[in-house]
Structure 1
Amino acid sequence: MPDDDVIQQLAEALSIDPVLAALLLQREIKSFEEAKHFFRPDIRHLHDPFLMQDMEKAIERIETALEKEEKILIYGDYDVDGTTAVALVYSFFSKRTTNISYYIPDRYKEGYGISTQGIDYAAENSYSLIIALDCGIKSVDKIDYANSLGIDFIICDHHLPGGDLPKAIGVLDPKRADCEYPYKELSGCGIGFKLVQAYAEKNGIPFESIACYMDLVAVSIACDIVHITGENRTLAYFGLQKLNSEPCTGIKTLMEIAGKKERVNISDVVFSIGPRINAAGRIADAKHAVALLISDDVLNAGDIGALINGHNAERKGHDQTITDEALSMIKSDAALVAKKSTVVFNERWHKGVIGIVASRLTEKYYRPTIVLTRSNGHVAGSARSVYGFDLYEALSNCSDLLTQYGGHMYAAGLTMPPENVLAFIDRFEEVVGATITDEQLIPEIKIDAEIKLSQINSKFYRVLSQFGPFGPANMTPVFLSKGVRICGQPLLVGSEHLKMFVQQDGSAMFECIAFGQHSWIRDLKQDRPFDICYCIEENVWRDKRTLQLNIKGIRQAAQQ
């Protein structure tokens, strides 16, 4: 059936604007039943955890450990996904045994993933089972070492496996080639939730006993930038409900510190809650984040939350200082400005924030970017890419100069000997220059649909909001409206943002906010039509709710 016919049938069946039906079709939703499934997430949409390869083995090993009162160590990465995963699995099993603790590797001393130091800690303290979360899928040699010491591993990971799987008791990873689990995009914390769900199902524990952890899963999904589709969307939907009704004590503390009083969404989690959790591992010790997330004591949580918030303030300081220094470094070097890549190095920069700085530089100059600093005798770097350019492949072409590297198309980490820095900068620019297209160096705004402002009303927004939670693979739709006119004068908000009202062909007036687009203030005139692309959102001010257009781009209208 042609797409236009599908759109028309969906629009009629659901009594919605055809534009919204077209957005459903973009998401491969073609029938009333599929739309109902999409618009009405249900716990019953979660998959059977035992469809995951090795789940039965993992649960049997945990049951044996609990029965024999073995010591269990919950091990996880130091980022948001890892710490929420550890908090979830530890909280659940600590209600069933006292022989349990957790371990988060030191970002600077041990690095990412399973460490020899962590295994030695387990051996010295008589732990016979380690449950690893958000890491371990490539730790073949480390698991062999643990096996030699009589320590069993269960790995719960969501990263792509290498050529060989670790010889663990159970390797839970939907991205295993032999795993038939129907959904492949779970977060690390999501895999931990499936482990807990499987144990609960097998042991007759009601689902309500694990639903209380879904706020942690939602935080991991938001902050690890995984797809918000399928099972992840269901988990995020109910996790946000928990966040907005009865969050765990630790997250509630962070929300209060961040000043979040209205309902939080995925974006709020990413920009307000996530950075504070991450700051613990970036500046001090990620164990503080786990201690906060497992705390049931309001006063204790308040103390840890204040400590973490202090780390976040320190992180912001480093972030701002390094960003300013890096921008100044680029601006003062004409040769660097002219390049198709950015690589900047200062051995004094704080390793914990160079990834954030790389993202900021990419936003400013829109090209593949690497920020380097000195760490433990090596030079460590964090890299970010632009849409459509494979950063990992580019680093592969520089691999002879690197001690190690890892990541994916858009973000990566790397280390190299200090004496290779200058050669690496030249090689990386050579590789990028030979493979990147001119189009990839121009930022684009992907527009989902062109609409008239007159199509926007409360029903349109109500249906649109049910497309959420929004995130990767289910982004907030961006609309284009052509030939709009400004009403009155645009106002400058702060030093960089515009606030204004627009109208189109006699439509209602819509309030707009245009972040970072202050340069348009002199060009927007009542007698000059212009085009806008934007997201539609609800603005709440003193209990009054109005629809607002969040402007993503402005251009002068084409001459008729």
Structure 2
Amino acid sequence: MQKVIRRRESTVQLSPEFHTFPPLLQRIYAHRSVQHPNELDYTLKQLSRPDLFKGLPVAIEVLVQAIEEGKRIMIVGDFDADGATSSSVAMLALRAMGAAWVDYLVPNRFEFGYGLTPEIVRVAAQSSPDVIITVDNGISSIDGVDEAKRLGMQVVVTDHHLPGESLPEADAIVNPNQPGCAFPSKNLAGVGVIFYVMNALRGALRERGWFQSQYFQSLQLPEPNMGDFLDLVALGTVADVVPLDANNRVLVHQGLQRMRAGRMRPGIRALLEVAKRDPERIVAADLGFAVGPRLNAAGRLDDMSIGIRCLTTDDPYEAQSLAETLHDLNQDRRSIETSMQKEALASLAALGLEDADAEQMPWGLCLYDANWHQGVIGILASRIKDKFHRPVIAFAPADLAATSESQVAEQGDFEIKGSARSIPGLHIRDALAAVDARHPGLIKKFGGHAMAAGLSLRADQFETFQQAFDREVRAMLDEKDLTATLLTDGELRPNEFSLPLAHQLRQAGPWGQQFPEPLFDGEFLVVQQRIVGEKHLKMVLAHPDAPQNVLDAIAFNVDTTVWPDPSITRVHVAYQLDVNVFRGRESVQLMINHLSALK
């Protein structure tokens, strides 16, 4: 797929206080609309005030009463990394505050699907909880909340997903995106929401003298330090790919600082170890590309309780064993994903749609295979979206066993689930809502964000939905939106390819969604090129203005039918300036994001 490389332009006027910053950093921050150095103050005092949350006082009242009266509390989470970290924060914090009985329940995606459904409420009821707290879900669980209330439970919903037309009749709802909520950071992940709730709960218990009045094993119950949970908050925030606005950058920065100082859960340390990441050098990208996928693998292929146990255990040996299990699951996930991706591309090729520039290619791509794994379709959709730069929805059977019954399979009378990924310019949940409005009953249920969503429908309705979705995407996008644009921070001068500057850029974040890591572009001479690890291109490059200074570079997952090519002596690359560590020695390395040959 061709990409248009465009250099960012400054949209703000930097304040004079930035004069002490290196010119390159000034340029980078201006490109990200940072106007004043105080916007880079990531101390906890910069966090938005919790009292701006709608529903928080009522939620705290319910939870204070639950703790004081020794009620049984059940956490119901989601089966992704945000859900796992959210469940872990809630569990650990409530126990640290002296809750008499706390347990958790994560719906198995293959049996119950997402959220607080009536079915999962009835499973929870077997443990006789008095209070259910949802984390990273619940805002659309109208029937599930009704069932919990019918069974005599109190329900506190904590979520960050966009609400539908109606809200559940919970005892309290804490969600920055619910109507009428004045909390300014609408981009909090689910783990950020429950962190705020637990922090406010600790404050309320402190005011009531709870910690001074309670004794545990003849010792005074210590008031928990909420900073001890920020490693989990940082992990869930980055792994959920929510925009890193100023508030989220504070949470992530503080979590990373604690990890680098060795203050982290044994499970996070173990996950870093199996991913071969140095905790002292960790950055946000390590959480997003190394730790998050291993944690997510549990929910995709097995049961997220493995991940939650890894995050909540205090035993480093148990944490290591669970981290290794998660690592193995992630290896399995990658193998399944590779196979599914080959099948998807072969299917498109068979239809003559393998060329991203083909006029006949749908603007909104829908893919389905009766043998695909439901837990991996989200990643598949993301990979196909990246390749063709179109909104993509990948579907798999909700129950693979249903497709093995020939009569049912022929009738298409079974449910398929889809995972959607979008491109800039198309709010995928709004697109699904528009399809639902035009074709009532076609979609059984849906929900999600601007860039990712989930849905379900009958298998025999797939082609109808496929056409309806494509029409909706065409109505919402222009043709120019289908060309990927890569925004860079411009060129680097030869003297800027330095180890100190590379270190400075690593530490100048945290970088992430909508606060992107610095990306540069320019032309280089090719000194060497070879394939390593079967599909990665290792290169030695030189800047045309300083050919005597060579630079190591690597491009991952290249097209091996094109590279290496000895005839290519000049290239245009978009790259990140990174630090490579090999046998204790540090050197500058270019991490190539996009590569094109020059004649």
* Aligned residues with identical type, % of pairs: 28
Count of equivalent residues = 547
- State yes or no: 1:387 paired with 2:424: yes
Name 2:286's counterpart in structure 1.
Answer: 268
Name 2:525's counterpart in structure 1.
Answer: 485
Name 2:309's counterpart in structure 1.
Answer: 291
Alignment of 1:234-249 (within 5 A): 234-244=250-260, 245-249=262-266
Name 1:16's counterpart in structure 2.
Answer: 22
Secondary structure class of the residue paired with 1:240: helix
Secondary structure class of the residue paired with 1:305: helix
Alpha-carbon offset, residue 153 of structure 1: 1.1
Query: Given that residues 345 and 371 in structure 1 are in contact (C-alpha distance below 8 angstroms), is that contact kept between their aligned partners in structure 2?
Result: yes
- AA aligned to 2:546 is G
Structure 1 unaligned residues grouped into runs of 5+? none
Query: Given that residues 282 and 352 in structure 1 are in contact (C-alpha distance below 8 angstroms), is that contact kept between their aligned partners in structure 2?
Result: yes
Could you say if the C-alpha distance between residues 162 and 211 of structure 1 is closer, same or farther in structure 2, counting changes exceeding 3 Å?
A: same
Q: CA offsets per residue over residues 166-208 of structure 1, 9 Å max, x none?
A: 3322211112232222322111011111111112223347886
Query: Given that residues 60 and 200 in structure 2 are in contact (C-alpha distance below 8 angstroms), is that contact kept between their aligned partners in structure 1?
Result: yes
2:327 equivalent among 296, 306, 309: 309
| Greater Cα shift, 379-388 or 421-430 | 421-430
Measured in 2, the distance between the counterparts of 1:525 and 1:319 equals 32
1:406 equivalent among 447, 456, 468: 447
Query: Given that residues 283 and 506 in structure 2 are in contact (C-alpha distance below 8 angstroms), is that contact kept between their aligned partners in structure 1?
Result: no
Name 2:233's counterpart in structure 1.
Answer: 217
Two-structure CA RMSD over aligned residues (Å): 2.7
Measured in 2, the distance between the counterparts of 1:51 and 1:386 equals 32
Q: CA offsets per residue over residues 442-489 of structure 1, 9 Å max, x none?
A: 2221122344233443454344334311101210111233x5433x33
Alpha-carbon offset, residue 9 of structure 1: 3.7
Alpha-carbon offset, residue 15 of structure 1: 4.3
Measured in 1, the distance between the counterparts of 2:11 and 2:310 equals 52
Measured in 2, the distance between the counterparts of 1:270 and 1:4 equals 28
- State yes or no: 1:543 paired with 2:579: no
Alpha-carbon offset, residue 75 of structure 1: 1.4
Alpha-carbon offset, residue 525 of structure 1: 5.3
Measured in 2, the distance between the counterparts of 1:3 and 1:270 equals 27
Measured in 1, the distance between the counterparts of 2:118 and 2:366 equals 32
Could you say if the C-alpha distance between residues 234 and 397 of structure 1 is closer, same or farther in structure 2, counting changes exceeding 3 Å?
A: closer
Name 1:327's counterpart in structure 2.
Answer: 345
- AA aligned to 1:217 is V
Alpha-carbon offset, residue 37 of structure 1: 4.5
Name 1:42's counterpart in structure 2.
Answer: 43
Query: Given that residues 80 and 223 in structure 1 are in contact (C-alpha distance below 8 angstroms), is that contact kept between their aligned partners in structure 2?
Result: yes
Name 1:129's counterpart in structure 2.
Answer: 131
Measured in 2, the distance between the counterparts of 1:3 and 1:389 equals 24
Q: CA offsets per residue over residues 78-133 of structure 1, 9 Å max, x none?
A: 11111111111111112312322111112122211112123223444331111111
Name 1:177's counterpart in structure 2.
Answer: 179
- AA aligned to 1:449 is G
- AA aligned to 2:586 is R
Alignment of 1:4-403 (within 5 A): 6-7=13-14, 9=16, 13-17=19-23, 19-30=24-35, 34-38=36-40, 40-95=41-96, 96-204=98-206, 209-244=225-260, 245-261=262-278, 263-334=281-352, 338-340=360-362, 341-376=364-399, 377-399=414-436, 400=439, 401-403=442-444
1:453 equivalent among 476, 482, 494: 494
Could you say if the C-alpha distance between residues 15 and 356 of structure 1 is closer, same or farther in structure 2, counting changes exceeding 3 Å?
A: closer
Could you say if the C-alpha distance between residues 251 and 221 of structure 1 is closer, same or farther in structure 2, counting changes exceeding 3 Å?
A: same
- AA aligned to 2:80 is D
Secondary structure class of the residue paired with 1:94: helix
Alpha-carbon offset, residue 135 of structure 1: 0.8
Measured in 2, the distance between the counterparts of 1:403 and 1:388 equals 25
Alpha-carbon offset, residue 335 of structure 1: 5.3
Measured in 1, the distance between the counterparts of 2:323 and 2:491 equals 45
Alpha-carbon offset, residue 370 of structure 1: 2.1
Normalised TM-score (structure 2):
0.84
Measured in 2, the distance between the counterparts of 1:276 and 1:554 equals 28
Measured in 2, the distance between the counterparts of 1:501 and 1:335 equals 35
Name 1:510's counterpart in structure 2.
Answer: 551
Query: Given that residues 393 and 409 in structure 1 are in contact (C-alpha distance below 8 angstroms), is that contact kept between their aligned partners in structure 2?
Result: yes
Measured in 2, the distance between the counterparts of 1:310 and 1:458 equals 35
Query: Given that residues 389 and 440 in structure 1 are in contact (C-alpha distance below 8 angstroms), is that contact kept between their aligned partners in structure 2?
Result: no
- State yes or no: 1:501 paired with 2:519: no
Q: CA offsets per residue over residues 421-451 of structure 1, 9 Å max, x none?
A: 2223333344445554332222221122344
Query: Given that residues 390 and 482 in structure 2 are in contact (C-alpha distance below 8 angstroms), is that contact kept between their aligned partners in structure 1?
Result: yes
Query: Given that residues 156 and 171 in structure 1 are in contact (C-alpha distance below 8 angstroms), is that contact kept between their aligned partners in structure 2?
Result: yes
Secondary structure class of the residue paired with 1:392: helix
- AA aligned to 2:156 is I
Could you say if the C-alpha distance between residues 461 and 9 of structure 1 is closer, same or farther in structure 2, counting changes exceeding 3 Å?
A: farther
Secondary structure class of the residue paired with 2:48: coil
Alpha-carbon offset, residue 302 of structure 1: 3.3
Name 1:473's counterpart in structure 2.
Answer: 514
Name 2:565's counterpart in structure 1.
Answer: 522
Measured in 1, the distance between the counterparts of 2:78 and 2:171 equals 20
Measured in 2, the distance between the counterparts of 1:208 and 1:97 equals 12
Alpha-carbon offset, residue 358 of structure 1: 1.4
Measured in 2, the distance between the counterparts of 1:219 and 1:5 equals 31
Could you say if the C-alpha distance between residues 281 and 554 of structure 1 is closer, same or farther in structure 2, counting changes exceeding 3 Å?
A: closer
Measured in 1, the distance between the counterparts of 2:55 and 2:468 equals 43
Normalised TM-score (structure 1):
0.90
Query: Given that residues 381 and 413 in structure 1 are in contact (C-alpha distance below 8 angstroms), is that contact kept between their aligned partners in structure 2?
Result: yes
Measured in 2, the distance between the counterparts of 1:5 and 1:101 equals 49
Could you say if the C-alpha distance between residues 53 and 398 of structure 1 is closer, same or farther in structure 2, counting changes exceeding 3 Å?
A: closer
Measured in 2, the distance between the counterparts of 1:541 and 1:47 equals 41
Measured in 2, the distance between the counterparts of 1:342 and 1:464 equals 37
Measured in 2, the distance between the counterparts of 1:264 and 1:15 equals 23
